[in-house]
Chains A and B, each alone.
Chain A
Amino acid sequence: MATMITTPPASQDQKPEFRAPRYRRPLGVGRDQLTMGGVLAVLAILVLAPVVPTLWQSVVDRPLYEDGGVLTLEGYRALFTDSGFGEVIRNTLIFASLTTALSIMIAVPMAVVVVRTRLPGGRMVALAMQWPFFISSLILGFGWILMYGPAGFVSTQVEQLFGTVPWNLYSIPGMAVTEAVALAPIAYVFCANALRQSDASLESAAQVCGAGPARILFQVVVPMLRPPVVYSSILIFSMSVETLSVPLLYGQPVNISVFSTFLYKNGLQAVDPDYTVLGAASVVILLVTISLVALQAKLLKDSARFVSVRGKATRPRKLELGWVKWVSVAFIAFYVVFGALIPILGLVFRSFTLIFTPLRNPFDFLTMDNYATVFQFESYRQSIINSLVVAGVGSVLVSALAVMAVMVARRSTFRFGRLVEYLALIPQSVPGIIIGIGFFWAFAFAPFGAGTLLQGTLGALVIAFGLRALPSAFGSVAPSIMQIGAELDNAARVSGADWLMTFFRVLRVLITPAFAGALVLTFVIMLKEYSPAVFLSSADSNILGTTMLELWAQGRTGSVAALATVQIAITAAFVALAGLLMKGKHHA
């Protein structure tokens, strides 16, 4: 340090060699402002495109694409008087409440036991709870019907043994159980994270005061779970309000309608759909989901005050439970094996056999025919390729948009930064099927024939699926970008780079891992997605989900099983490959 300064002060009296760079700003708007404004405009168009036509349609007396529409409230009147919508609301409420309650009942004990007690195979469980990331609820629904449905493998077996089947899958409780199995991991993740973050010394304090393991669990650990339980309850409730898969598969045969299937039935299956009533129903459902998400956002903001996070990570001490732990292990194993493993493996097995019933040995009918069918028929093969194209192109576009949105919302002085963030997160509260209906109307409504250009193409699916995946992409990118110190940007700005150049010259490389992470996440989400497609797909733009639904309706279970297996395989291969690539990059 002290050996410094050897150069004489030569440059002192010279005229400065460089001037500050100048950036052109015609009319006071530079390229920075243009980019930020552009991001805002793209997001605003994306979000408003499906919502505004829906609102408009709900108060116009004929389809948007017909001329001479007259303003009317008839749609809302009809909806609440003679469309059976009251029954639908009741069903939805029961279904969503039951699903929420069951999910919490599965998730909370599991989180407590796995995180806070010594449990054999605890890490395995934590890993196993990620399964819904790979498997869509549509596929889970297929698997459950194959196993536990009225003619299912397990049901038949039980009937043979006991003479009767004590459950009925095609009922609201049946739907709720399946949905709860699929959504419980969400509540589990929230509770487990809260438990890991909470201060272990709280428990030590209780122990020093003389409390035993059971008392510590019930008087210290469980009460601390209130915020994550409340938060994940609302999340699960709003997700079950909007879900299509299980209610569609289980409810259709026995005429149980919830919000999403009501829209599905009235929009797609009616001979002459009343678009005004459909619009009114969409608006009502939208109001419900948006208020749920708003409530959830508000609670999350407040709940930050409850979380007892300390700077120093204290390793949670694990409690010894004795015999109770074997009960817990049995409970968890039951959930994983009967909830996920048997239905999924059954579905995969079904794809390799002709007949699937305990009455005949399925191994006698092993075959590759199901796959042959799927790969031989042009339209089935095309739907696999379509899914890959939509997920591939869409994930790149959405991740890029999410990165730009985070940059504008969190890393710029743009005056509408907050608005950009809200716009990127709003689609979270719009049910997939309404996004489908909304874009369907938007394309019919769009000026300059832009709509007809997109209508029924893969482009339409990329846009709709992309909008669905945007909040997840934003949520995955934002924390990674926020971890990069703002002083790095400031240093670049002061030394002469404008906002765009700062992004391209300094931040781009640092953001790459966040971008890759968002890419993997959105690829998987978009590969599983299908609900907006039921309104947007044409014969040429079917994707895995819509094709499976079609085949299922035709009773071609073998082909459905084969396609489902293909989808699971693609997801697993993609995630494995991405994991390998990113790992390699870390070492380099």
Chain B
Amino acid sequence: MPELVVKNLKKQFGDNTVLHDNTFTIKDGEFFTLLGPSGCGKSTTLNCIAGLERPTGGSITVDGTTFVDQERGTFLPPEERNLGMVFQSYALWPHMTIAKNLALPLDIRKVGKARQKELIHDALDKVGLADLSDRYPHQLSGGQQQRVALARALVYSPTMLLLDEPLSNLDAKLREQARAWLKRLQEELGITTVYVTHDQDEALALSDRIAVMSGGRMLQVADPHAVYERPATPEVAAFVGRCNFFQGKVEESSGARHTIRLDANDGVVVVEADLETSPGQGITVAIRPERLEVVPAGAETPGANRLDTEVLTSSYVGSHYEYDVRLGNQVVQVESQRPGLAGRVQLVFEAGSALLYAEKVALSQEERDLLTVS
């Protein structure tokens, strides 16, 4: 069954390396997502799988069929890979009806007219648009076009489905519905799917596994739960969900328990994490806003760590409150159900809620400016 094996995939444009030796495997029937900010190499990776771009190094094989192997100089052009692909712009051919759009790949595969008709009807039925087959693409709404594009990618039963940000052109409400629908369809068809997106919610909701990419490297390949709960690097933590980062120094560590003095306010916190540390070592503590709690100063709340802070701003966003609090010279973001806090408060979190990274977090100048208070 189709299993995609990518080895040492590399792509360079002149001196500019956009993919650095990435190796990964996509299992049969898996929904695999490439997630990352724009320019991280996720679309390039997808285009290499599709054959629209030729990598500079490495190999891609599916089921023993070599798509590309730069060492041996083999390259299978996209038309011979038998893949289905949906593009961001849907790329429906504007001068053909919906039925003609679906018929073209079948024509190329020399399918008889009668069989074509059945297949086209089935495929359009799958996406709920069987009655629109004589329309032209411009007569359809964005959501309908997106479903036609999916039907066109599926009508010839390709070995694999490639989706390049297929939902990003839909408006927010429709996007959520389309997401749930796509998930059901993929589960039902059981087709191996590679999905590219910059939207973390989409990635978390849809995927069996996610590859988080940045700067042409795969930072972490794991299931959604692991990506969110145990991000491999601070960068992953910052990109998937929000995260506060504190620089500090290890005072003491015994097994998984580490005592850390924070640079921001000279306070001491205890963090539980699987990381080898030694006293005096510089370290980064990462905590998601929803794992922090703010309580009025002096309230008796359980929690391993308590830090004295002061509310800078509070905003009501419907489902919860968001507080920006000051910790020394640093701004900390907190999500809370507690309304109306102001002035001096305490920041509380469990030792197990925080993440620990040996590397320093590289913030951009702009982020640093926004997160620093005098």
Interface flag for A3 (CB, 8 Å): yes
Across the interface, name the chain A residue whose C-beta is closest to B191: A12
Q: Is the CB of A496 within 8 A of B157?
A: no
Residues of B near A1 (CB, < 8 A) are 143, 174, 177-178, 181
Interface flag for B127 (CB, 8 Å): yes
Q: Is the CB of A490 within 8 A of B52?
A: yes
Interface flag for A229 (CB, 8 Å): no
Q: Is the CB of B185 within 8 A of A5?
A: yes
Residues of A near B162 (CB, < 8 A) are 494
Contact of A5 among B85, B95, B174, B188 (CB under 8 A): B188
Q: Is the CB of A20 within 8 A of B81?
A: yes
Docked Cα-Cα span, A9 to B54, in Å, equals: 35
Q: Mark B148-192, 1 if CB is under 8 A from A, else 0.
A: 010011001101001000000000001001101100110011100
Q: Is the CB of B80 within 8 A of A20?
A: yes
Interface flag for B125 (CB, 8 Å): yes
Docked Cα-Cα span, A357 to B206, in Å, equals: 87
Q: Is the CB of A490 within 8 A of B91?
A: yes
Contact of B122 among A7, A19, A485 (CB under 8 A): A7
Docked Cα-Cα span, A496 to B102, in Å, equals: 12
Q: Is the CB of B104 within 8 A of A510?
A: no
Q: Is the CB of B181 within 8 A of A413?
A: no
Contact A491-B87, Cβ < 8 Å, known A4-B128, A18-B111 = yes
Residues of A near B77 (CB, < 8 A) are 23, 493, 498
Q: Is the CB of B95 within 8 A of A509?
A: yes
Contact of B126 among A7, A23, A497, A498 (CB under 8 A): A7
Interface flag for B313 (CB, 8 Å): no
Q: How far is the CB of A485 from chain B (nearest CB, A)?
A: 6
Residues in chain B within 8 A of chain A (CB atoms): 50-52, 54, 77-85, 87-89, 91-95, 104-106, 108-109, 111, 122, 125-128, 143, 149, 152-153, 156-157, 159, 162, 174, 177-178, 180-181, 184-185, 188-190
Across the interface, name the chain B residue whose C-beta is closest to A16: B157
8 Å CB interface, A1-44 against B: 1-7, 9, 11-12, 16-23
Q: Is the CB of B82 within 8 A of A2?
A: no
Minimum-distance CB pairs A-B, first 10: A20-B82, A487-B91, A495-B105, A491-B91, A496-B108, A494-B85, A487-B87, A493-B78, A18-B109, A1-B177
Q: Is the CB of A493 within 8 A of B178?
A: no
Contact of A21 among B80, B92, B122, B190 (CB under 8 A): B80
| Residue contacts A-B, CB under 8 angstroms, 27 given | A1-B178, A1-B181, A2-B181, A4-B128, A4-B181, A5-B128, A7-B122, A12-B190, A18-B111, A20-B80, A22-B80, A23-B77, A23-B79, A413-B54, A490-B50, A491-B85, A491-B149, A493-B51, A493-B52, A494-B81, A495-B105, A496-B105, A496-B108, A498-B77, A498-B79, A505-B104, A509-B95
Q: Is the CB of B181 within 8 A of A490?
A: no
Interface of A is mostly: loop
Q: How far is the CB of B95 from chain A (nearest CB, A)?
A: 5
Residues of A near B127 (CB, < 8 A) are 4
Q: Is the CB of B157 within 8 A of A485?
A: no
Q: Is the CB of A17 within 8 A of B157?
A: yes
Across the interface, name the chain A residue whose C-beta is closest to B29: A12
